Structure 1
Amino acid sequence: MNSSDTAPLYDKPHAVDLAQVLMVFQYFMVVSTSIGLGPRLLKWGEAQTSDVPFMADLADAVRIGGGFPIFVVIPSVVILTIPYVATVLALGSGRPWARPTAVVFVLVNTVIGIAGLDQTYGTVPTYVLSPIWIALAAGVVGGLATRKARQWSRQGGWAPWYERYAQDQARGRPRPRR
């Protein structure tokens, strides 16, 4: 093991950035397609355009299921949002609890997403879109499993930078200019 393996990270690893972005993308996929917000908007649009000839033919060709009931959708979105946002922000801050929590969220969201796709859109779209869900989950889990992402979590994120800054201030070194 050389010295670069144990040197503190002063910048957030790109793998952590990628995991954060993919988690946000997955969140919006869960809310829009699987929980039922997307199908509800499509049903509303179908009702508004039922007298337009082309749109009525399109609505007959593409059948959209109802998604989950609204009394499940609203509480699910509220319950999911707060801890999900906290986990995504904590990943960027390097909190040790955020990595395993993010992995659990991503795996659970993948299962919810694929089940919601099947209930809402049917079997064929589920087979087509399931690889996207799996690729998102693999991107997050793989990114968080990298050496630098693990080190970022172990060192507590920006903590070494703050320690180095405090030491520089104690020694009377000026702040570097960019």
Structure 2
Amino acid sequence: MFLLLLLPALALAADVRIHHRITGQPWSLRAELHGDHLETIQPYSQLIPPSYAPGARYQLALERPSDKDSNSWDLASVYLCHLSSAVSDTIVVHEFDGVPYALDYRVTPVPRDGSCPSLVSSISVPNTTISFSSARVPPSPALRAPPPLTPEGQVVPPVPERSFLQKYWVYIAIFVGVMLFASGPEEEAPAAAPRARS
């Protein structure tokens, strides 16, 4: 079964051909994309021999109209043994302004450690998804102003920060003075009134 996911907003402006092969074999056409529709598709199960060397890889290549030969194609690959248990595979064509520039390929499931299964069964035809991924330009970083320079080209050293006493000594002196003068001389206690004699 084949599932094609093409987002109309991300349709390619140029025609794209996707080729596939087992490492060391010649390339053959897997899919041909014209704008927002698929022209041809060939599953990889037709390509894979019944027995193959350990470590063999299944490769995909993105052919752009501007490419002169297969040496300039963008490549993606997976271990061939992972295709024996694959339930789905995904082809992602990366594009910028409608022009393709890269290709990603994934099969699922793949063991967490990436090892090949000990028993390789026959290669099945998985559900295939082809999608586009539009490149985004990252925001420009906020740059600080460059430090001031001396006429000799040296960085002007920053003014050293003053201590708490250096900053606020005037306020402290005023506060101490106000406290000294505001209290004034101590008042004498009133003299006790003389007792009347009887």
TM tier, smaller:
under 0.3
Higher helix share: 1
Scaled by the length of structure 1, the TM-score of the pair is 0.23
Larger Cα-atom Rg = 2
Scaled by the length of structure 2, the TM-score of the pair is 0.22
RCO comparison, higher one (Cα < 8 Å, 6+) = 1
